[in-house]
Amino acid sequence: MPESPAKLIDGKVYAERLRAEVTAQVAELKASQGLQPGLAVVLVGDDPASQIYVRSKGEHSLAAGMHSVTHRLPQDTSQEQLLALVAELNSDPLIHGILVQLPLPKHLDERAVLAILNPEKDVDGLTMISAGRLASGLPGLYPCTPMGCLILLRETLGDLSGKRAVVVGRSMLVGRPVAQLLLQADCTVTIAHSRTADLPAVCREADILVAAVGRPRMIKADWIKPGAAVIDVGINRVPFDDPEKAAAGRTKVVGDVDFKSASQVAGWITPVPGGVGLMTVAVLLQNTVTAAKRQAGLDV
């Protein structure tokens, strides 16, 4: 393990590399098969963070040479209208990947939407079929953020076999899928959460610590094993430390890890922003290419 301060795991570098690979794959599919992978993103409402993510997904898919469609629906969209759109996209031969941006407005049932989403087009890996394939260790479309975490760890550490990994957070979106992917990589995995007894001690056992709990700067330096690799999935908006900026209502984005102190103990660490978030979109593009190949009967 390298000496502290930690080396940054730069998500931008690896995301750019993956997007370049996707762009080359798209060009090859167009030239050899006449196939253009298509991605449809559905956004309901006007959540600012979701708006930013959706715009980024659209821009990067177009830049990679894909067919890209964004459906922006009003906040008061009914359950029936949303389900009808998803059903329409399920049957559209030009669309190989469908992503419904979560969270949805509270009056809409996310489970009902995921239940009708064609698993072959589930490029966010959230349907029951996708979750089952991941849990069973079968090939499939895996969730984008967890896959981004795994790619960063493999690029940084190489072989993960035998390493002790602790995932703080048990959500279906990140915590559990990350744990399953690390198990597939032959790590010894612990899923920790708010009710874990002596959580700091559990975290200190980890060669790999993944923070996905949604609490700003919760994980402190003394929770981290010296030299560990720390993957911070958290995206939290907090007031600026500067009193004037805070008084003006300005906020900044921080992770679930207290980066300043943790980077003096960890061996490697992802920044927030600039870490996992950039990988999420890159993996989404790769999943769309994979989905397009499978639907065309091509080898993946």
> Which residues are identified as catalytic?
57, 101, 124
Residues 6+ apart with CB under 8 A from 179: 165, 167, 189, 191
What spatial distance separates the first Cα and last Cα of the chain, rounded to whole Å? 35
Which DSSP state fits 207? Answer: S
Residues 6+ apart with CB under 8 A from 231: 9, 149, 152, 153, 208, 209, 210, 211, 270, 275, 276
Long-range CB contact pairs, 29-33, < 8 A, 24+: 29/289, 29/292, 29/293, 30/65, 33/296, 33/298
Q: Which of 288, 274, 171 is closest to 232 using CA atoms?
A: 274
- The answer to whether the CB of 10 falls within 8 A of the CB of 273 is no
CA 114, 115, 116, 122 torsion-angle sign: positive
Q: What are phi and psi of 37, to 5 degrees?
A: -55, 135
Class of residue 145 by CB neighbours under 10 A (exposed 0-12, middle 13-18, buried 19+): buried
Gap between the Cα atoms of 209 and 160, Å rounded: 13
- The answer to whether the CB of 256 falls within 8 A of the CB of 213 is yes
235-251: string of b/e by CB count within 10 Å (b at 16+)?
A: bbeeeeeeeeeeeeeee
The amino acid occupying position 26 is V
- The answer to whether the CB of 101 falls within 8 A of the CB of 50 is yes
